């Protein structure tokens, strides 16, 4: 990959195919050896052709709009609007439908040596879908299968959901935080102390869903508008300057490595 201090991606018009991937020319700006990413922008619900699992990758679904119906370990599972689902390697899963237009992001980490393994062909899931729409349907997931977070709940906002240390779900694959600030007071109350820093090994990613955020990189002010993703490679000093409110976004670090943050200036 050609050296650059950052990469700025517009995800607003990206199709459902893998956008960031190692299956690209190494000089392509969307070449990504560790994190694979695809997204959809207000598409109709669909049914996957088969159930499958991944040999090495964790797969993370982030649903922003609509509702997704899935089979997870052959059990029905629903994702409501504003929710996150992490599926561990070896766990069969598939999408079997949903409601309303779907806007979502899918991540795979790591993905370079991962194998996609089919488990069974699509069949008629109408009876399962009926059960999933009943009021008493209960969503269940265990630690070995993965992790689910309702992003509408305060406990899942403005902290590390995935990662190490105080993260809610421990994983060495990546760190992920969902940010939701309705006003500046929300930001202040969450005790965020932004510093000018870089990471020795990890790549940091900033995604804006609503509002915008401004970062400083090499004396350049970079505005990340809704639907845009900023990728900051290792050893690149940067500082988050400000948000507009209300703000909604996601911050990622890949991979999850403790003590990798080097602070240059408080």
Q: Mind listing the pLDDT tens digit for each residue in 132-177?
A: 887 677 888 998 999 999 999 999 999 999 999 999 999 999 999 9
Q: In terms of residues, how long is the chain?
A: 266
From 134-143, 196-205, 241-250, the region with the lowest mean pLDDT: 134-143
| 171 vs 5: CA distance, rounded Å | 27
pLDDT given for residue 106 in this prediction: 97
Using alpha carbons only, give the angle 235, 241, 242 rounded to the nearest 5 degrees.
Answer: 140
pLDDT of 27 reads 85
The pLDDT value given to residue 4? 64
191: pLDDT strictly greater than 80 = no
Check whether 130 has a pLDDT greater than 80.
yes
From 3-12, 41-50, 177-186, 208-217, the region with the lowest mean pLDDT: 3-12
* Strand 169-170 versus strand 160-163 pairing type: parallel
Q: For residue 222, give the nearest of 235, 231, 213 by alpha carbon.
A: 213
pLDDT at 131: 81
Q: 0.85 cut: is pTM over it?
A: yes
pLDDT digits (tens, 9 = 90+) for 5-53: 899 999 998 877 899 998 888 888 999 999 999 999 999 999 999 999 9
Q: For residues 121 and 159, which has the higher predicted lDDT (pLDDT)?
A: 159
Higher per-residue pLDDT: 68 or 124: 68
**pLDDT value of residue 1:** 37
Sorted by where each starts, the structural domains of the chain and their CATH numbers stand as 11-152 (2.60.120.10), 173-265 (2.60.120.10)
Assigned token pair, 65? 């709009």
Residue 125 in this model has a pLDDT that exceeds 90:
no
């Amino acid at each position: 990959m050609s050296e650059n201090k950052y990469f700025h991606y517009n995800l607003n018009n990206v199709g459902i195919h893998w956008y960031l991937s190692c299956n690209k020319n190494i000089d392509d700006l969307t070449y990504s050896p560790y994190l694979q990413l695809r997204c959809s922008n207000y598409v109709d619900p669909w049914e996957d052709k088969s159930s499958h699992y991944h040999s090495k990758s964790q797969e993370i679904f982030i649903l922003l709009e609509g509702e997704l119906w899935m089979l997870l370990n052959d059990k029905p599972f629903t994702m409501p609007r504003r929710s996150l689902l992490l599926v561990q390697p070896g766990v069969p899963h598939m999408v079997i439908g949903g409601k309303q237009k779907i806007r979502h992001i899918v991540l795979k980490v790591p993905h370079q040596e991962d194998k996609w393994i089919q488990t069974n062909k699509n069949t008629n899931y109408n009876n399962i879908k009926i059960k999933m729409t009943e009021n008493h349907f209960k969503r269940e997931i265990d630690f070995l299968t993965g992790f689910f977070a309702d992003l509408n709940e305060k406990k899942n906002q403005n902290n590390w959901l995935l990662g190490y240390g105080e993260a809610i779900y421990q994983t060495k694959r990546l760190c992920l935080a969902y940010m939701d600030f309705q006003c500046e007071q929300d930001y202040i109350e969450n005790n965020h102390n932004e510093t000018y820093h870089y990471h020795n090994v990890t790549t940091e990613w900033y995604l804006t869903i609503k509002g915008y955020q401004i970062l400083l990189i090499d004396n350049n002010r970079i505005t990340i508008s809704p639907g845009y993703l900023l990728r900051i490679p290792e050893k690149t000093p940067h500082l988050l300057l400000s948000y507009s409110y209300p703000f909604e976004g996601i911050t990622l670090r890949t991979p999850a490595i403790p003590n990798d943050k080097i602070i240059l200036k408080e």
